[in-house]
Each structure stands twice: as C-alpha cells, then as structure tokens.
Amino acid sequence: MLNTQELDQRAREIIRQNDMGGYTVPTHGLYPYQWNWDSAFSAWGTATFDTTTGWAEMETLMNAQWDTGMVPHIVFHKLDPGYFPGPDVWQTGHTPPTSGITQPPVAASMVKLMMLDDSENGLQKARDLFPKLKAWHAWFMRERCESGAVAIMHPWESGRDNARDWDGAMANIDPSNVGEYTRRDTSHVDSSMRPTKEDYDRFITLVHQGRDLHWDQSKIREQGYFRVACPGMTFILMRANLDLAIIAKSLGEPTDEIDAWSETLQKGATTLWNAERQHYDSLDLRTGEFAGCLSNASFLCWYGDAGNDTMFEHYERVLSISKYPVPSLDPADPHFDSLRYWRGPTWGIINTLIGQGFHYNGYDDKATTLRKATADLIQEHGFAEYFDPNNGQPAGGSDFTWTAAIWLAWASPSAPQTLDSE
Ligand code: DGY
C-alpha cells in the first residue's frame, strides 16, 4: 500500500497524464474530452501543486460558455472516434464544438476555494471568471427553476447518468425511433459497470430531441420527454450561489441578486421533500411523482444548507450497512447494484461535497470521519472512477482525474482543507 506522500505523488502524475494542454480529460479512452464538473474538480486539485495550470483549466471550461450563459457538459476540443455521441450527433453549431446540455455547477465553489488558496493571483483570476459564473447561475435560475428546484432535461445533466432517480421518467420515453448507433463506453469498461442498453436508447433519444429543437430551452421545457427536479443539482447550485456571493464580496461586487437566488432555492428545495418517505427525493415535473429513492445526492442537503435530523437518521443507517460509504443508492433499495455506475457505487467526489456540507454546518466530526473513510478507500483501492461500497472494488475508468483531484485537495492527510471564507 502506498503511503500519503506516494499517493500525493501518484495523484499528481495521474493529473499530468490526463492533461491535454489547457484542460484535462477525466480518463483516457472512456472520456476523451473536457467534461464540465470533472474539469472544475480537476482545476481545484491541480491548483494544489500548480496554480497556473489549475486556473487555465477553469478558464478553458468557462470559455466554452454559450451566449445564453449555459456552460456545456462536454467540450469537444479534438475529435476522438473512441467516444459516442460526438459533436456530429449533438449538432449544437458552437465553436469550440460542445454538447447541448449542462452539468452540476460546482465551478463557482471550486473557484472560491482556489481563490482563497492563491494569495498571489486568486483575486484577479476570480475577477475574470466572476461574470461568466454569474451568467451561468442566472441561466439556471431563468431556464431551470420553474418549480423552485433545479430541473434537468437529460439524466446526463445531473452527472448521475443511470441513477434510480430517473427510472420513472425514463420509462415514459419511447426510444423506438432511436435508430442504429454503436456505444463506445462498453468497449472501454465492462458492461456490468455501465448503464444498460434500455437507458442508452433513451439517452440518445433525448439528444436527438434536443438537436431537433435546436437546443432551444423554452421548447425543450415545453416539449421535452424528460424534466425532473434533481436534489443533487439543487443543493449544488445552492452552495454555488453562497460561494458566488463570497467571491462577489471579496471583489466588492453587489450580492443582492445572488442572495435572492439563494432565497428562491431555499424555498424550492422544500418541494423535493418526500413527506411519505421522509427524505429528499427527485421529482418528475411532467407527472408530479417522486422517484421514491434515497441517493447520495439526497445527502448533499447539508452542502445546500438544507440538512435536518431525519436526513441524519437515513445517513447513519446507510453508513451502518456500507463498508465503504457513501453508496450512490440506499443499499436497502431493491434496485441497489453495487457496481453499476450510479445505482450503488461510491464516488469520491460526492463524498467530498457531502463532507464539505457537514463542515459548513458545523458537523466537523462527521466531515472528518467521511474524509478518513474516503482516504482509506483510495489508499486501499486506487484512483478509480468509482468503487463497490461493499468491498471497495475499483470500478469504471482507472487513473481518474477527479479522484486524484479530490485526494489532493480534500482526502489526503496533506490536503490544504481551506473551506472557510467570509
Ligand atoms: C457518458 O458518456 O457516459 C457521460 O457520462 C455522458 O456525460
């Protein structure tokens, strides 16, 4: 087993290997482009040993922003035939070519952390990025918060592609016109660890629909086959707004508009409380039905400053039945599948955000315990994309950028631990 110093070294090597010049890929082969939230985590982790390269990654991501304010989920810098669906399928007409959907907005929170850690250039970099971050958050508030919580139009936007949360809404999509296509993900990773064909047919059907609607948000909102309010996106945007306000204050910018967004989302988050099951849940906005599923995104409630005692009870129960927490689905759920992507496995990045949420709410013991559990998992099983919560088995892609990044910035005993702010 490698010691802390060796693991720090290995994490830096992984990030360097995945560095394409100005941005990192999540891992070679499976994900050969720049992914939005992967990139934000990567920037934060990279900045622990190379601030210039870390800031450059954040700038490259934000430079791909659309005029509408949306920051796309993939930026296709250099064509790679090993990935499907590529820019020819998305047809967004953007330069650089991008996908047509977004991803969890962790960027402002990472910029805040990087700003606090970089006394030399942090303020200037944050000043340059601030208008873009604000425009992205404004886009979310304008286009995606009609129910008060943040809605997604494609499961890929949540980052939790095949989560159990989407099963009900996905069942209502007719994929019969999807046509012929060849998946590439299962040529890189065992199919038992990836979404099923039934899921994929629907993922691609939604991409075709977005393309046919020219990625017009109001049309997608009205006609889209999928519209689900997501606790993960909601809690992440809540924290991101709080962090954006902290950045604004550091820059001497007004915070009124951002504070109003925070209020809207605080109220909106209450619509995700499933009173029958007593936990935060995903809500299908087309049918009004809850998904009825407790996921690791539900445990981001503290990250969004919306935690409560009942959620602690769920958290403790889930931890008591998971050797390597936090599983992406409650192991007591009949659909729990310990290796299949977001239907069971443990993800280091979500652990990081849950741990930060504990810290921000004054539960430092819980933050420390989760951080230590995540560090042990990585030390014993490496820098995998995700892990089996029962035995720690590494799964998905290996030498993964964001696992290396959260190791360096949060899990490693040598990590800076800068979170505080005001
Ligand atoms: C994939 O291709 O699996 C990605 O998660 C989509 O963003």
Identify the CA nearest to 304 among candidates 377, 224, 219, 238. Answer: 238
* pLDDT tens per residue across span 152-164: 999 999 999 999 9
Q: Does residue 83 line the site of ligand 1, with CB under 6 A?
A: no
| Phi, psi of 273, rounded to the nearest 5 degrees | -85, 115
Q: Does residue 185 line the site of ligand 1, with CB under 6 A?
A: yes
Please tell me the predicted confidence (pLDDT) of residue 417: 75
Distance from Cα 310 to the centre of ligand 1, integer Å: 33
Distance from Cα 159 to the centre of ligand 1, integer Å: 8
Distance from Cα 195 to the centre of ligand 1, integer Å: 10
Q: Does residue 385 line the site of ligand 1, with CB under 6 A?
A: no
Report the residue among 25, 27, 30, 31 best suited for mutation to probe ligand 1: largest number of ligand atoms under 8 A from its CB: 31
Please tell me the predicted confidence (pLDDT) of residue 420: 59
Distance from Cα 26 to the centre of ligand 1, integer Å: 11
Is 388 annotated as catalytic?
no
Distance from Cα 156 to the centre of ligand 1, integer Å: 6
Contacts with 38 (C-beta within 8 Å, 6 or more apart), sequence order: 24, 26, 31, 401, 402
Please tell me the predicted confidence (pLDDT) of residue 382: 98
pTM of the model: 0.98
Amino acid identity at 261: W
Distance from Cα 414 to the centre of ligand 1, integer Å: 31
Q: Does residue 281 line the site of ligand 1, with CB under 6 A?
A: no
d(CA 212, CA 38) in angstroms, rounded, equals: 28
Q: Which of 243, 385, 388, 399 is catalytic?
A: 385
Q: Contact 325/318 with Cβ under 8 angstroms? A: yes
The residue to which tokens 């971050």 are assigned: 133
Here the tokens at position 393 are 């088995």
Please tell me the predicted confidence (pLDDT) of residue 422: 41
Q: Does residue 407 line the site of ligand 1, with CB under 6 A?
A: no
Report the residue among 156, 160, 204 best suited for mutation to probe ligand 1: largest number of ligand atoms under 8 A from its CB: 156
| Phi, psi of 246, rounded to the nearest 5 degrees | -65, -40
Q: Contact 325/373 with Cβ under 8 angstroms? A: yes
Q: Contact 304/356 with Cβ under 8 angstroms? A: no
Distance from Cα 343 to the centre of ligand 1, integer Å: 15
Please tell me the predicted confidence (pLDDT) of residue 421: 45
Q: Which of 161, 185, 199, 281 is catalytic?
A: 161
d(CA 104, CA 40) in angstroms, rounded, equals: 10
Q: Going by CA atoms, what residue is nearest to atom 7 of ligand 1?
A: 156
Please tell me the predicted confidence (pLDDT) of residue 226: 98
d(CA 166, CA 230) in angstroms, rounded, equals: 9
What are the structural domains, with CATH classification, of the chain? 4-411 (1.50.10.10)
d(CA 72, CA 91) in angstroms, rounded, equals: 13
d(CA 44, CA 61) in angstroms, rounded, equals: 13
Report the residue among 36, 76, 185, 386 best suited for mutation to probe ligand 1: largest number of ligand atoms under 8 A from its CB: 185
Q: Which atom of ligand 1 is nearest to the CA of 203?
A: 6
Q: How far is residue 8 CA from its own chain's centroid?
A: 23
Q: Does residue 38 line the site of ligand 1, with CB under 6 A?
A: no
Q: Which atom of ligand 1 is nearest to the CA of 99?
A: 7
Please tell me the predicted confidence (pLDDT) of residue 214: 98
Q: What distance, in Å, lies between the first and last C-alpha atoms of the chain?
A: 39
* pLDDT tens per residue across span 51-62: 999 999 999 999
Q: Can you give the three-state secondary structure of the chain, one letter per residue?
A: CCCHHHHHHHHHHHHHHCECCCCECCECCCECCEEHHHHHHHHHHHCCCCHHHHHHHHHHHHHCCCCCCCCCCEECCCCCCCCCCCHHHHCCCCCCCECCCCCCCCHHHHHHHHHHHCCCCHHHHHHHHHHHHHHHHHHHHHHCCCCCCCEECCHHHHCCCCCHHHHHHHHCCCCCCCCCCCCCHHHHCCHHHCCCHHHHHHHHHHHHHHHHCCCCHHHHHHHCCCCEECHHHHHHHHHHHHHHHHHHHHHCCCCHHHHHHHHHHHHHHHHHEECCCCEECCEECCCCCECCCCECCHHHHCCCCCCCHHHHHHHHHHHHCCCCCCECECCCCCCCCCCCCCCCCECHHHHHHHHHHHHHCCCHHHHHHHHHHHHHHHHHHCCCCEECCCCCCEECCCCCHHHHHHHHHHHCCCCCCCCCCC
Sign of the four-CA dihedral 316, 318, 319, 325: negative
Please tell me the predicted confidence (pLDDT) of residue 416: 85
Here the tokens at position 315 are 């958290």
Q: For the chain, what is the largest distance between any 2 Cα atoms, rounded to a whole number of angstroms?
A: 56
Q: Does residue 156 line the site of ligand 1, with CB under 6 A?
A: yes
Is 8 annotated as catalytic?
no
pLDDT tens series, the chain, 422 aa:
999 999 999 999 999 999 999 999 999 999 999 999 999 999 999 999 999 999 999 999 999 999 999 999 999 999 999 999 999 999 999 999 999 999 999 999 999 999 999 999 999 999 999 999 999 999 999 999 999 999 999 999 999 999 999 999 999 999 999 999 999 999 999 999 999 999 999 999 999 999 999 999 999 999 999 999 999 999 999 999 999 999 999 999 999 999 999 999 999 999 999 999 999 999 999 999 999 999 999 999 999 999 999 999 999 999 999 999 999 999 999 999 999 999 999 999 999 999 999 999 999 999 999 999 999 999 999 999 999 999 999 999 999 999 999 999 999 999 987 665 44
d(CA 178, CA 335) in angstroms, rounded, equals: 26
| Phi, psi of 271, rounded to the nearest 5 degrees | -70, -15
Rg (CA), the chain: 20
Identify the CA nearest to 70 among candidates 41, 94, 86. Answer: 94
Q: Does residue 199 line the site of ligand 1, with CB under 6 A?
A: no
